Amino acid sequence: MLLGIWQWLSSLRLAPSYLFPGPMDVFRSLREMAADGTLLISIRLSMGRMIIGYSISIVGGLAIGLASARSRLFKETVGSLIMALQSLPSVCWLPLALIWFGINEMSIMVVVILGAIFSIAIATESAIRNIPPIYQKVGRVLGARGFVFARDILFFAALPELIGGLKIGWTFAWRSLMAAELIRADVNGVARILQTGREFNDIAMMLAGMIVILVIGLTVDLAVFGTLERKIRRRWGLEK
């Protein structure tokens, strides 16, 4: 239906075709980028940065969230700072990252990590604090202490809510990566398709780039996090 409305509006010629291209023009641009390898290379570069940066964010966010949930001192000091940093758009870190790490891949990776780590930490803390106290008491009675207690009791009890936090972290990381690639003129990636289209005044290419970004985000959400959520909720008896 949306494609039909788009095609109908394009056929009315309310604006020149180079300003408001139809679906076929956009799909033609996608096909051309796929044929010359531009699309595949851009996706591979962006997903490579995303996997590395997001993996580091998960490790750091889980550690910070666990410390914040288990230590009152950590919560009132570092936890307050994390809440403040979460409200800062991640792209604001890019100028500092360029100065600290130079004009290289590391600066983009830092933006991706900082874009996701704080949201994952906050979600982890919230998930652990919402664990029913009876689970923790039973775990201690059965002898769980230290790392074993965190691994076997806290992690699995918080897992259903934690998956939602990881999904939010992925969204923030993906947005951060797209913003960094769009601003950096010296790197290739999915977001650079938009900038290339702007430089050549090619609206069809820009819309094609936006579609690629949306499709990748939706695919990861449904195929990875959607599958995990369904399995965990079914395993925990939260849905049939």
Residues in the chain: 240
* pTM, full prediction: 0.83
Q: What is the domain partition of the chain in residue ranges? A: 24-235
Report which of 138, 171, 169, 165 is spatially closest to residue 153, judged by C-alpha positions.
138
Is the confidence at residue 64, as pLDDT, over 80? yes
pLDDT value at residue 182: 84
In the prediction, which pLDDT does 43 show? 92
Q: How many other CB atoms sit within 10 Å of the CB of residue 186?
A: 7
Is 70 exceeded by the pLDDT of residue 239? no
- 126 vs 70 pLDDT, higher one: 126
Q: What letter represents residue 212's amino acid?
A: V
pLDDT band (50, 70, 90) for residue 240: low
Query: What is the homologous superfamily of the domain 24-235 according to CATH?
Result: MetI-like (1.10.3720.10)
104 vs 43, which has greater pLDDT? 43
> In the chain, pLDDT over 90 holds for what percent of residues?
18
Residue closest to 216 by CA, chosen among 178, 162, 166? 178
Helix-then-strand count for the chain, H and E: 13, 0
Residue 238: pLDDT band (50, 70, 90) is low
Residues 157-166 have a mean pLDDT of 84
